[in-house]
Amino acid sequence: MLSLQEISDRLEIQQLMVDYATALDEYEIDRMDNIFTPDAYIDYRAMGGVDGRYPEIREWLKNSLKNFSNYYHMISNVSIKIDGDTATSKIVCFNPMGVPMEDGTKQVMFLGLWYRDRHVRTPQGWRICERIEEATYQHNVPAHIRVMDE
């Protein structure tokens, strides 16, 4: 049976994941300052992105998300393992994205991935200190968009 502390920790970590997806989808990237540690390592290369420390990734997200007409990040299947003041998690993300085409139309592509995270308890609460994307599938990706090697 989970203790009240374990329940609280799991709920806080799960909320970080929801807050991340919401910040992305509402294009409020600076809200991620309350989700990641300042020195967090983030690796988006599996789905065609970049990797680096949080401040660089925050700026990259601000620029790269402008290339899509719309998107959302549906998250589920949360698995969390807590070990004192550290934790690991794995969560699935379904990510449809609208891609503007050269002829003025829009095409929706579908991306499936896992987020594999490491978390740390800070004085401000739980934060993500490492996020690594793991690609699972892609569908309907336009030729001018590089997502993942097939």
Model confidence pLDDT, tens digit, residues 65-124: 999 999 999 999 999 999 999 999 999 999 999 999 989 999 999 999 999 999 999 999
Q: How is residue 117 written in tokens? A: 């995270």
Band of pLDDT at residue 144, cut at 50, 70 and 90? confident
> What does the mean pLDDT of the chain come to?
95
Q: How is residue 61 written in tokens? A: 């997200």
3-state secondary structure of 146: coil
**The domain over range 4-139 is classified in CATH as 3.10.450.50:** yes
Whether pLDDT at 133 is above 80: yes
- Domain spans in the chain, listed from the N-terminal domain onward: 4-139
Band of pLDDT at residue 143, cut at 50, 70 and 90? confident
Q: How is residue 112 written in tokens? A: 């499936």
Residue 98's CB is within 10 A of a number of other CB atoms, namely: 13
